[in-house]
Amino acid sequence: MLKKKILIDTDKCIGCGMCVNACSGSVIELVDGKARVIREVYCQGLEHCLSACPTKAISFVEIE
């Protein structure tokens, strides 16, 4: 079964926190001014964070 894994490109992240607010699972937090995945197991793959990120620093990949 394929599952979505969230990835954050910290080079593109500007630390605005928009993804944190958009994430319904509290998966993302700002750490040292950058978005970080801290509770990946709670990610439901709804991808609300994708549209919230102004720099397109977030992506999802499919894994088994």
**Which range of residues forms the domain containing residue 46?**
3-63
Q: Domains in the chain: how many in total?
A: 1
Residue 57 CB partners (closer than 8 Å, separation 6+): 8, 9, 10, 11, 12, 13, 14, 19, 35
Residue 27: predicted pLDDT: 96
CATH of the domain at 34: 3.30.70.20
CA distance between the termini of the chain = 6
Q: What is the pLDDT along the chain (64 residues), one digit of tens a residue?
A: 888 899 999 999 999 999 999 999 999 999 999 999 999 999 988 999 999 999 999 999 998 8
Residue 64: predicted pLDDT: 84
Residue 2: predicted pLDDT: 84
